Amino acid sequence: MAKFKMKDYQHWLLFVLFIPLTSVLCFSELSFITEPSDVTVLPKDPAVLDCQAHGQPPVTIKWLKNGVRLAENEHIQFLPNGSLYIPKIKHTKEESDEGFYQCLSQNKYGAILSQRSRLTIASISEFLLHPVPMVVTEGCVARFSCAVTSSPPATITWELNQSTLPLQTDRITVLPNGVLQIHNVQLEDAGQYRCVATNIGSRLKSREATLTVNQGEGPKPRQRPRIIAGPQNVTVSLHQTVVLECVATGNPWPIISWSRADSKPIDVYNAKVLGNGNLVITDVSSKHSGVYLCRATTPGTRNYTIAAANLTVQVPPSIVERPESQTRPRAGTARFMCQAEGVPPPRISWLKNGEEVHLNGRIKMYNSKLVITQIIPEDDAIYQCVAESEQGSVLSLARLIVVMSEDRPSAPRNIHAETISSSAILLAWERPLYNADKVIAYSIHYMKAEGLNNEEYQVVIGNDTTSYIIDDLEPARNYSFYIVAYMPMGASRMSDQVSQHTLEDVPLRTPELSLTSHSSTDIQVSWQPLPAKVSRGRLSAYRLSYRTAADNTVISVEIPQNSTEYLLEGLQPDTIYLLRMAAATRVGWCEPSAWTSHRTPKTSSSKVPSAPILQLEPLNCTSIVARWQISPESVAVQGYRLCYHEEGQPEQPTIQLQAQNYTYTISGLDPRRKYHVKILAVSQAGDGYQTDQTVSTPGCVSARDQPTASPPPPDHVTVLANNSSAVALRWSRPAFPSGKAVSYSVRCTPVGTHNASAIRYLQTTKQSVMVQNLVPNTRYEFVVRLHVDQMSSPWSSVVYHQTLPAAPSQPPAAVRITLIEDDTALVSWREPLEPNVVVSRYTILYASQKAWLGGRWQILQREGSHTMALLEKLEPGNVYLVKISASNQVGDGPFSNIVELVPARGNTHRSKNPRHSDSFPDTTMFSDGLYHIDQRSMTGIIVGVSIALSCIVMCALILISKGRPSKSSTHKVIGLGAAEDPRAGLSLPNERLTENAEALIPMINAQFIDAKDGSNIVINSAGLVSSKNHSRWLLFNRDIINPDESDVERRASLYEAGKTVLRYDERLGSAPLPPSSREIIYGPLHSESSQSSEGSQETGDSGHYSNEESNEEMSNPSTSQSSRPESFGLADNAAVVELKQSFEVENEEMPRCPLHHSAPDAARHCCISEGSLPALHTSQAAGS
């Protein structure tokens, strides 16, 4: 039934939270069939912008220009199909139709806005760059260039002496970007050159430039290759054509080759070489982005020079994760996801019914996600995600339907948050006060408390719990929480908010270092402060370590936490130094960074350029922009040399940059990698000082990166018990491609705990961990998660494990020894005072003082359910030492403190009062085992014994004189002694009843009495009462009684017809007994007697008999009657009633005990009561 209910709740939960209602599924979605697109027109020409929408009629369409709604007039007309028609384009300074247009479609469900369309009027601006005159030598290279701004892009052609330049020869190349190259210049190439720019709107000519050709003089000297016109960084739009120019000179003529810096092949289908080494790529796409290297090599040699340029292809926005329509109850929460990609990264915004969403405390935007909390009916609308950049815009829509319900539960109450670790907080609450039985789920909402527009997260759990651990939090952050209760058709209001702070943790990584040298003997180390997400707390210090590459001796320097630079001085010139840094919070130090190398400059008398000031900034997940500047006081710079490499990888080829360049884009990098970038300036005096800096590329936000962003959890988690307080946890690494180091978090939770301090987290880089300091005999749950590259996997499946029971850590408590005969003692104890301990057996060691000195102990063992044992065959007069330990299958516990016992010497002491010895400090026990009394007391005892003997003689004479009684006597007789006729019984006459004593005589089974020498032994709460002969109790024999015997059987077997047992009972809560005559004459007895009685009362249950059992027999007459033999008649019942009556006996007198026997051969006995004994209870029963 429970499983059925759980499944039913889960179905309701899916219905409410995740499955749209039928109205959404049947919703005739309002959408566009045709959207306006970019268009270029000539002035005074007509223009049409198409727009058609589909949806439940009526559907209306309106137009906006630059975000402002247009009104229909003579100049602007709205066609019946929704399109916009402009009969005559205006393009004046006062008024122009150029701009961005959008159409707005609306029906009863809401309104949607179309993508942005740009209307451009064709034009050509003045030339930005005119060709300049050139003087070249015959056989060299001449190059002219011009640049113009045109829309649409203009076509560039060249004229020589105002005539179209013939292009029949391979020596002349006209590039699409307007560059003219003339290789191997001849004398006839001299003349006037100009370029002509043409588009659909107009034609424009540049100024003329003169080419002068000088005649060559003799053979040319041998020259190394030199690139005179290298490729330039270029940014183009998708599907355009790009030209990477490369012109080189040298003797012999160099060979031009192209390659990519990332070693990827160049697209052979869209790329071709134009002229003598120019690379032209048509129909470019994002795969063409990267750094291209032009290499000019002298034929037959290894002499070469390289020039590099970065190609960036801009991609229009595209939505990779679209929002989905949702149905939510009033007061619920809706989340619309939207992810877009493009180059440059698009901006994300949201529209509600075609208008920008107004963000407030209830409606928030986290990155690109729109979250609406505490939904109201006015939130029912169509929402659009808008992704736009310079390359265009794209939209995606979703509808929110609000369901109304009045029967809502009240909000959850008494929210409480407790910090567990640096990333986990335990949240607990109470159920709603109203309609709590209708709650099917709880929704937990949490977000960072500091800052604005923080993203709100949500977790949905079932209704079977009122606590939850949120364990994906950032360290050292303050979070706010609230909870909402859900029922099938609605949600409660949000609960009160609570805030809680996570603990600090060690920093996630170290700062990125920047290394420069201002002289040949120093290194300036600088860094940026760590962001809060990385520092994971307040930094307490930095530790900078350095050494030379040839020496392993590491020198470390601790730097205050507020520093961002440090100068290492006194270093060796022209030496490679390795440096690394670590950061610390109050929790501890993080792992130090990898070693970074830096070479100190050589000692030189000439002045070289100083180290450039370098700034690295990630452009996207695969590109880095490097910007630098040189000190104004520095010497003249001829160029720069830049190189970079991924951490742990070899360096890439050096990139030569011109002196006028102060920025460079490094592309083709891998996401989430650390790169080292080095740059130095070059002058005539030589290479300048070098700057080293590290930077990390961010992660890409795209659909293909989603599996990497969320690695799978570990699998095959197993738990192996090591001991009672430790387990070994092992797991397997999930199968996913990653060459990075991974780490793991282990969470250990006692099942059912609400105590945050009991939940533990462990961190490790291995696939196993030893979890220690667990509570024995406790059920735990274990989960593992994986961390890689600052990302975490979900938790693994829960594995449950019960820890082993532990060996007892404490000895048995309240060890007590009672001497019951001259050579027999009863030892009792209680279980060890510790929780969750399992005892399977007890070990009793006892020895005389002589044997103890020789190290000889006698061993006695009892099962864990027993807390009593008999010590037999003790030698009178010897002092015995006893100690006890508890054990189980795990091991043995410690022994208790040694307790001493002194049996009586010979028959000098035959008192029925047992003597006790225990481990309590207030117990008095003397070395000879006797109570010390003075001579006057001894005289009184002798007089009392004499009186007792006289009474015995008198009783014997009375019995003889009365002779055998008549069989018709109404009194039943109970015989004391050997087993007789089961019908035999005892009648107690109503004679002088002694004070403060009540005698009840129960029956006891013979299997509990060792009938050796025909004697019976009875144990009461004060100790053991012995008859004239020695006896043994089979209960304490070494053969342990069968523990499977039920309590009812044991209780029933205690009684048998014809047997008499004396049981002493101290009634709790009754008035104390008045002092006996003996106590008045000789003074009170030693305090040990009362303590011993109390101790025996405590341990009586472990011996399978108790006063309570006896009382139950007496208090249940129906049970007693049903268990009697059939021969018991009304007289028997009367005898039983008479037996239950109390009678008083004077302690110092000997009562007359006439015994009436129904059997002629029955033995005659007399019961004697001493004043020191507690109240006697005698009862009669028979075994069925």
Question: For residues 511 and 516, what is the distance between their CA atoms, to the nearest angstrom?
Answer: 16
pLDDT tens-digit series, residues 229-280: 889 999 999 888 999 999 998 888 899 999 998 888 888 788 888 888 899 9
pLDDT for position 453: 64
Question: For residues 1135 and 986, what is the distance between their CA atoms, to the nearest angstrom?
Answer: 9
> Which candidate, 719, 670, 659, 658, places its Cα nearest to that of 695?
670
Flag whether pLDDT at 406 surpasses 70.
no
Question: For residues 446 and 450, what is the distance between their CA atoms, to the nearest angstrom?
Answer: 12
pLDDT tens-digit series, residues 490-539: 778 788 889 999 988 888 888 888 888 888 888 989 888 888 888 888 88
C-alpha 352, offset from chain centre: 38
Beta strand 326-329 with 392-403 is: parallel
Average pLDDT of 945-962?
Answer: 88
pLDDT tens-digit series, residues 792-825: 788 888 888 888 888 888 899 989 888 888 888 8
How far lies 171's CA from each of 31, 143, 180, 257, 552, in Å? 57, 12, 11, 18, 60
Flag whether pLDDT at 754 surpasses 80.
no
Q: How buried is 22 (Cβ within 10 angstroms: 0-12 exposed, 13-18 middle, 19+ buried)? A: exposed
Q: Which two tokens stand for residue 1080?
A: 């008045």
Average pLDDT of 372-386?
Answer: 89
Q: Considering only residues 764 and 1066, tell me which one the structure prediction assigns the higher pLDDT.
A: 764
Q: Considering only residues 436 and 350, tell me which one the structure prediction assigns the higher pLDDT.
A: 350
Q: Of the given ranges (46-55, 662-671, 969-978, 1022-1031), which has the lowest mean pLDDT? A: 969-978
User: Which pLDDT band, with edges at 50, 70 and 90, does 452 fall under?
Assistant: low
Flag whether pLDDT at 1175 surpasses 50.
no
Q: How many residues does the chain have?
A: 1184
Q: Considering only residues 184 and 1076, tell me which one the structure prediction assigns the higher pLDDT.
A: 184
> Which candidate, 1173, 1166, 820, 1183, places its Cα nearest to that of 998?
1173
Q: Which two tokens stand for residue 556?
A: 């470390």
Task: Judge contact between 1162 and 980, C-beta under 8 A.
Answer: yes
Flag whether pLDDT at 832 surpasses 80.
yes
Q: How buried is 265 (Cβ within 10 angstroms: 0-12 exposed, 13-18 middle, 19+ buried)? A: exposed
Question: For residues 881 and 852, what is the distance between their CA atoms, to the nearest angstrom?
Answer: 8
pLDDT for position 738: 66
Of the chain, the percentage scoring pLDDT greater than 70 comes to 73
Beta strand 99-107 with 60-65 is: antiparallel
Flag whether pLDDT at 1036 surpasses 70.
no
Task: Judge contact between 699 and 705, C-beta under 8 A.
Answer: yes
Beta strand 441-448 with 457-462 is: antiparallel
User: Which pLDDT band, with edges at 50, 70 and 90, does 790 fall under?
Assistant: low
How far lies 257's CA from each of 247, 292, 304, 942, 1158, in Å? 11, 10, 11, 132, 134
Beta strand 467-470 with 478-487 is: unpaired
> Which candidate, 789, 606, 580, 554, places its Cα nearest to that of 692?
580
Q: Which helix or strand (DSSP H or E) is residue 954 part of?
A: helix 935-962
Q: Which residues pair with 982 in a beta bridge?
A: none
Q: Which two tokens stand for residue 100?
A: 């961005």
pLDDT tens-digit series, residues 120-148: 988 888 888 899 999 998 888 899 999 88
Of the chain, the percentage scoring pLDDT greater than 90 comes to 18
Task: Judge contact between 245 and 273, C-beta under 8 A.
Answer: no
pLDDT for position 964: 52
> Which candidate, 975, 988, 941, 984, places its Cα nearest to that of 1152?
988
> Which candidate, 256, 260, 245, places its Cα nearest to that of 299?
256
How far lies 802's CA from each of 15, 721, 724, 750, 780, in Å? 38, 9, 9, 10, 6
DSSP letter for 299, please. Answer: T
pLDDT for position 739: 66
pLDDT for position 105: 92
**How far from each other are the two terminal CA atoms of the chain, in whole angstroms?**
46
Average pLDDT of 880-886?
Answer: 91
Question: For residues 367 and 350, what is the distance between their CA atoms, to the nearest angstrom?
Answer: 11
Flag whether pLDDT at 79 surpasses 60.
yes
pLDDT for position 978: 36
pLDDT tens-digit series, residues 597-654: 888 888 776 677 888 888 888 888 888 889 888 877 777 888 888 888 888 777 778 8
Instruction: Give residues with Cβ within 8 angstroms of 82, minimum separation 6.
Output: 51, 52, 53, 61, 103, 105
Flag whether pLDDT at 5 surpasses 50.
no
Task: Judge contact between 621 and 659, C-beta under 8 A.
Answer: no
Average pLDDT of 281-285?
Answer: 91
pLDDT tens-digit series, residues 547-596: 998 888 899 999 998 888 899 988 888 888 999 999 999 888 888 888 88
User: Which pLDDT band, with edges at 50, 70 and 90, does 405 fall under?
Assistant: low
User: Which pLDDT band, with edges at 50, 70 and 90, does 1092 fall under?
Assistant: very low
Q: Which two tokens stand for residue 358?
A: 């107004």
Question: For residues 726 and 961, what is the distance between their CA atoms, to the nearest angstrom?
Answer: 80
Flag whether pLDDT at 1021 surpasses 80.
no
1053 φ/ψ angles, rounded to the nearest 5 degrees? -75, -5
Q: Which helix or strand (DSSP H or E) is residue 548 part of?
A: strand 541-548
Question: For residues 747 and 717, what is the distance between their CA atoms, to the nearest angstrom?
Answer: 12
pLDDT for position 209: 92
User: Which pLDDT band, with edges at 50, 70 and 90, does 1053 fall under?
Assistant: very low
Q: How many CB atoms lie within 10 A of CB 726?
A: 14
Work out the mean pLDDT of the chain and round it to a whole number: 75
pLDDT for position 103: 94
pLDDT for position 1112: 37
User: Which pLDDT band, with edges at 50, 70 and 90, does 842 fall under?
Assistant: very high
Q: Of the given ranges (216-220, 445-449, 1083-1087), which has the lowest mean pLDDT? A: 1083-1087
Question: For residues 918 and 1081, what is the distance between their CA atoms, to the nearest angstrom?
Answer: 29
Highest mean pLDDT among 724-733, 969-978, 1117-1126, 1160-1169: 724-733
pLDDT tens-digit series, residues 155-213: 889 999 988 888 767 888 888 888 999 988 888 889 999 999 998 878 899 999 999 99
pLDDT tens-digit series, residues 93-130: 788 888 999 999 999 888 999 988 999 988 888 888 89
pLDDT for position 904: 58
Average pLDDT of 443-464?
Answer: 82
Average pLDDT of 752-771?
Answer: 81
23 φ/ψ angles, rounded to the nearest 5 degrees? -65, -30
Flag whether pLDDT at 1041 surpasses 50.
no
Buried/exposed code over 977-992 (b: 16+ C-beta within 10 A; e: otherwise): beebeebbbbbbeeee
pLDDT for position 967: 41
472 φ/ψ angles, rounded to the nearest 5 degrees? -120, 35
Average pLDDT of 308-317?
Answer: 92
pTM: 0.46
